[in-house]
Structures are given as structure tokens and as C-alpha cells.
Amino acid sequence: MLKVKKISEILAKKVFTDTGDYFGEVEEVNIIENKIDGWRIRVSGDFGGFLGGARGVIIPHQFVKAIGSVMIISRSSLPNSDSAEESMPEEESM
């Protein structure tokens, strides 16, 4: 049976990736034409480094895998940490 949750119950829930990494907390929901379009997530310090120092991201609702006591999102919705490291200029050795 499908259990319906109120949006107010989901705000401030912890968000984890499908690989088990803690990502942050739900801060806000984006609704368009009475449908959930995306979720604004306040990012934890671990992920902020490869997100360019951003404090939050918007995850489209299609990447949400489950919502229960926590929210599970698909890791594929996030920028790859390897590509972020490659885009950063390397320090020249002297």
C-alpha cells in the first residue's frame, strides 16, 4: 500500500545517496502545477568541496529513490567527484 506523506513531514529530513553517503538535509520543495518538481538540499560539508563550495543543490524529483525516515537520492544525480577534481587547476611542482 502506498503511504502518502505531507511535505511538511519531509522538510529537514536527512538525505543519503543510494551508495550510503550522507548528503545533507531537505530544505525546501519546488512545486509546479501541483506536482513536485525538485528538492532543495542543504549540502553537508563533505560534498560541498566538489560542488564548488555551494551550500545547497536542487535535485530533480525523478532522482529521489525513496522517502521514509530519510530521503534516498540517486548518486548519478550528483556531479562526479573525479570530474570536479579534474576541472580544478593542478599546482605546479617546483
At 85 the pLDDT is 42
Between CA 8 and CA 66 the distance in angstroms is 16
pTM, full prediction: 0.75
Determine the average pLDDT of the residues in 3-16.
89
CATH for 7-85 (1.20.120.1760, 1.10.260.40, 3.40.720.10, 2.30.30.240): 2.30.30.240
Between CA 91 and CA 58 the distance in angstroms is 31
Count of CB atoms situated within 10 Å of the CB of 45: 8
The closest alpha carbon to 11, from 24, 28, 23, belongs to 28
Angle at Cα 29 formed by Cα 23 and Cα 33, nearest 5°?
Answer: 145
Determine the average pLDDT of the residues in 47-73.
85
Count of CB atoms situated within 10 Å of the CB of 30: 14
